[in-house]
Amino acid sequence: MSLYTKYRPKDWDSVVGQDFIVKILRSSLKNGNTGHAYILTGSRGTGKTTSARILAKSFNCLDLQDGNPCNACENCQAFENGTMIDIIEIDGASNALVDDIRAMIDEAKFLPTFGKFKVYIIDEVHMLGKSAFNALLKTLEEPPEHVKFILATTEIDKVPETIRSRAQRFDFQKISEKNIADRLNFVIDAEKITADPGAIELIAKLSRGGMRDALTLLEQFSVDKNLSLEFLQNTFSMIDDDFMDEIIEILASKNHEKFAEMIEKIKTQHIRSENFFEQIILRLRDKMVENLGNEKFGLYNSIFEIFRKSYPSIGYFSDNFLVIEMTLMQAINAENFPQNAVPNTDKKPQFTAPKKIVEPKIKPETLTEPKEISKPITDSAPTKIVPKLEEKIEKKTEIISENIEPKAEKIPETPKTAEFSFRRLLTEMKDTDPVVLATIKNASFKQDGETLELSFGNKWTADKMQETRYQSPVIAVLNKIFGGEWKLKISHKPQNNTHFDDVF
């Protein structure tokens, strides 16, 4: 028997991490104020099906104790043995057809055999088809007094609103790491399993709030009654907490001397990029909480934002380590946010509005009107005035058009122009080569004609940019945007430029 089956809770006292839900259900059972339909929703492994089974058992328990099933009466024992015919469990995925639901509804008309209620537990109810939901809806609208429905789902949005509105809804939250660790410690004591310090906590993290996943991992990695932390870390490509803290401090302190050594050490661990990103993001979150109100908050928040923005690009590269390497380079070269500041991720580029073009005005005196009209105006009268008016408007429009027409001038060698060129380069690189963009984004820049000089505070990054693989895309984009034959000059110098986070 698997551990998660063996240690599945059989009463409300054993349910972990859902105290609020347990309190409400126990109170309603104790007071006899129960509903005809319940819908339990939440991610996998949070206790939905387990709670549904306990609730169904409680409905028919002959000796209910403070809202808890006694687990000793005839009905409770029959349920545990699988012989309680008044409690029917249905898998929504396997019985999704309308005929299956209609057959269930026809059976529901008959009174229960042993218990007080006939209880239907429909797991993964969102898998039912539209016709099946419609058939179920009719019964939920006019339920027999002796029937209870308990619906469980991981995807509540796929359940029609008409069904949801006719059932009491309970949202199961992910179980905290502490609650999972406490339960695992109880199990290893009962199973006499020896665990390394930190191994239980690591399994609690890996389970992502699911108790069933945690018990499955415990069973998988303790077949010889020994749970090894090192074996877990190697299997799941995890970095130990001490080294992760060291990585974060190197980035926060901008320790370029230790950066290259740190990169090589990470590379030797063959860590999966998604695991690394999730680890460092969660650890940065913890450090931000620990440093609320002091100057280090801004440092950790700066690094957090860089990894958060880079996370979606993990799947773009076949090289598993490349995105880790590029993001670390970006993080160590990034400017810090002000103390305690939360960065504005919705910032957009600011553009200067074009100057308003003034429409040509014709002065009244330029039009010669007859002072006195002695005869009716004939068709030939406007022909003497209108052509002159049109001619003057046309001439003035031509003059204005010539004045506002942009002149093809060589880009002036000013900081403003260098900033404009660099921003245009970054914007284009976003779609052309995100890897190179991450490398050059925080460089200092200077323009000399058709030569763009990029300076990096990190020597390792500057050496990388000397490679053709990194220079070629930049030169190609510059030539495409501005024309000509552009050149790149790479150097290792302190940074002093403005960075463009809004490009991402």
Whichever domain contains 214, its CATH number is 1.10.8.60
Residue 138 structure tokens: 């009719």
Edge-to-edge strands, sheet with 487-492 = 444-448, 451-456, 487-492
Domain boundary among 122, 147, 172: 172
Report the distance separating Cα 497 and Cα 70, nearest Å.
72
Nearest CA among 286, 310, 276 for reference residue 434:
310
The reply to whether 65 and 138 lie within a common domain is yes
- Whether residue 289 is found in the same domain as residue 435: no
Range of the domain at 186: 177-235
Burial class (CB in 10 A: 0-12, 13-18, 19+), 445: buried
H helices, E strands: number in the chain: 21, 10
Question: Which of 333, 368, 393 is a domain's end point?
Answer: 333
The answer to whether residues 52 and 117 belong to one domain is yes
Final residue in a domain of this structure, among 333, 349, 380: 333
Q: What is the pLDDT of residue 495?
A: 56
Question: Does any domain span residue 378?
Answer: no
* Within-domain flag for 443: yes
Instruction: Collect all residues with Cβ–Cβ distance below 8 Å to 460 and sequence separation of at least 6.
Output: 256, 259, 260, 263, 329
* Pair (147, 35) in one structural domain: yes
Between CA 426 and CA 412 the distance in angstroms is 20
Quick check: is 395 in a domain? no
Q: Give me 182's structure tokens.
A: 């406490």
**Do 36 and 166 fall into the same domain?**
yes
Domain identity same for 33 and 115:
yes
Whether residues 299 and 152 fall in one domain = no
Question: Domain count of the chain?
Answer: 4
Q: Please give the torsion angle defined by the CA atoms of residues 446, 447, 448 and 451, in that order, rounded to the nearest 10 degrees.
A: 110
Sign (positive or negative) of CA dihedral 91, 95, 96, 98: negative
- Is 13 contained in some domain? yes
Same domain (yes/no): 161, 103: yes
What is residue 385's predicted lDDT score, i.e. its pLDDT?
46
Domain containing 139 — which CATH number? 3.40.50.300
Residue 357: C-alpha distances to residues 351, 391, 397 (Å): 18, 20, 11
- Three-state SS for 311? helix
φ and ψ at residue 288, rounded to 5 degrees: -65, -40
Asked if residue 250 and residue 218 are part of one domain, the reply reads no
Whether residue 273 sits in one domain with residue 298: yes
Whether residues 193 and 245 share a domain: the answer is no
pLDDT tens series, the chain, 504 aa: 788 888 899 999 999 999 999 999 999 999 888 899 999 999 988 999 999 999 999 999 999 998 999 999 999 999 988 888 889 888 877 766 777 788 888 888 888 888 889 999 999 889 888 888 888 888 888 888 899 999 999 999 999 999 999 999 999 999 999 999 999 999 999 999 888 888 898 898 888 889 999 999 998 888 788 888 888 877 877 787 888 899 999 998 888 888 888 988 888 877 888 888 888 998 899 889 988 888 888 888 889 999 988 888 777 776 778 888 888 988 888 764 443 344 444 444 444 445 444 455 544 444 444 444 444 444 444 444 445 545 555 555 554 444 544 544 444 343 346 777 777 788 887 777 777 777 787 788 888 888 888 888 777 778 878 888 788 888 888 888 888 888 888 888 765 554 444 444
- Cα–Cα distances (Å) from 490 to 259, 329, 427, 470, in that order, read 20, 16, 20, 11
Tokens 């191994």 label which residue? 199
Residue 66: inside a domain, yes or no?
yes
What's the CA gap between 504 and 488, in Å, rounded? Answer: 23
78 with 135, same domain: the answer is yes
Q: Residue-wise over 248-266: b if at least 16 C-beta within 10 A, else e?
A: bebbbeeebeebeebbeeb
